[in-house]
Amino acid sequence: MIVRQKKLKNEKQSRIAFFKALEGIRNDFTWKDCLHPLASSEECSTKVIGAHTVRRSADLKKIAEEGHVYKLSTSPVNLFNNNGKVWPELVGIKEASTFFGFCQKHDTETFKSLEAHEFIGSPKQCFLLAYRPLLKEIYLKKSSIKSVKTIRNSFQSLPQASSPFIQHFLDTLVKGHKSALIDLERLRTYYDECHITNNFNSMRSVIFYFKNPTNFVCSGIRQPEQDFNGNLLQNLASTHLHLDMITLSIICINDISAAVFAWHQVNDKSCVKFISSLLHQPLEKIPIYIFNFSIESFENHFLRPSWWDQLSNSRKNSIIGKMGKNTLLELLHRSNENYECIDLKHWNLSNIKYVNFSV
């Protein structure tokens, strides 16, 4: 009886700690601050808003149904509700892809040429598509560091919390986040300079245009470890090197769509090799490579509900199975699947545009 009571008490304490941690983590990922390079009490408007990283009207609205899209989320709440499995959840387009990283004034002014004008692939528009995911990733890294502290505090009363393994895991997690944050903040100084001077000559972009509308949109930043032929570009395990980064945005343009890769010239060493390896793939395979790379690399993904719902369970599991797979050797293998397997028949490449870059 005593053993059973002790067990029940421990289970109750674990549940309390778990839900305390969840509530704390929610707060850690919803702090508010304007990340504009000229942000100050004098320059900012009073309200920090939920700024969209994927364009609301131009992209999310185009794939939404009844005002909602599916979001691929690895949030603790979503994982808990789905027994540890990532699964799309319906979200309204007002909330989709937002983070509290801009005041209303600076969000409107900074991204006006993206939100209020048709996308024509100008250097400034390509820069802005890359600027958003960079700033959001900085926000997320800072949030993640906060959340580790929350986890420690929430579970510190439990016996297993003092486990050397758990403490080492959390220490390693914080070290990785801080190392990544240093790289991101370093890169941000170059992006901020482009923005403040309104000079985008140091930005490179490659735009893949597709004949048809897209059923999915995304925005994200990645440190490419390998190219599309499986060749090593940089060692992500190193904490002593500045790692090169590239962004990808899949967007809607009226009745067609596009995938926009962008990077700063300081990241040329890895990014030029990365994008060149994609450009040398068979044209009919490029859509699969881009789709796989986006799913593998970014959580900030949104899907047309009817498109996802009509997929077979095997296709859904195939897509979900790609999330979090970080090596392009695996991506290369799966990119040899046929179109029917991933259902990308609607996504036919029509043109490639180079911005401040040549092959």
* Residues 76, 143 contacting (CB under 8 angstroms): no
* Inside any domain, residue 290: yes
Cα angle: 235, vertex 85, 27; to 5 degrees? 80
What is the Cα–Cα distance from 260 to 218, expressed in whole angstroms? Answer: 10
CA distances to 90, 185, 186, 324 from 191, in Å: 33, 10, 9, 27
What is the Cα–Cα distance from 300 to 198, expressed in whole angstroms? Answer: 27
Residue 215 has a CB neighbour count (10 Å cut-off) of: 19
* Residues 163, 113 contacting (CB under 8 angstroms): no
* Inside any domain, residue 214: yes
Task: Residue 286: give the domain boundaries.
Answer: 203-355
Tokens of 284: 């009919």
Q: Can you point out the beta strands (E) in 54-202?
A: 68-71, 89-92, 98-103
* Inside any domain, residue 224: yes
What is the Cα–Cα distance from 258 to 260, expressed in whole angstroms? Answer: 6
Closest C-alpha among 252, 216, 209 to residue 115:
252
* Inside any domain, residue 81: no
* Inside any domain, residue 302: yes
* Residues 187, 264 contacting (CB under 8 angstroms): yes
* Inside any domain, residue 108: no
For residue 217, the cross-strand partners are 302
Angle between helices 286-297 and 268-279 (to 10 degrees): 140
* Inside any domain, residue 209: yes
pTM recorded for the entire structure:
0.88
pLDDT in tens, the chain (359 residues): 555 555 545 555 555 565 566 677 788 888 999 999 999 999 999 899 999 999 999 999 999 999 999 998 766 666 667 666 778 899 999 999 999 999 999 999 999 999 999 999 999 999 999 999 999 999 999 999 998 888 887 766 666 656 777 788 888 888 989 999 999 999 999 999 999 999 999 999 999 999 999 999 999 999 999 999 999 999 887 766 789 999 999 999 999 999 999 999 999 999 999 999 999 999 999 999 999 999 989 889 999 999 999 998 888 888 888 776 544 444 444 444 443 445 577 789 999 999 999 98
For residue 168, the cross-strand partners are none
What is the Cα–Cα distance from 36 to 164, expressed in whole angstroms? Answer: 40
* Inside any domain, residue 69: no
What is the Cα–Cα distance from 339 to 351, expressed in whole angstroms? Answer: 19
Domains held by the chain: number: 1
Tokens of 220: 């994200």
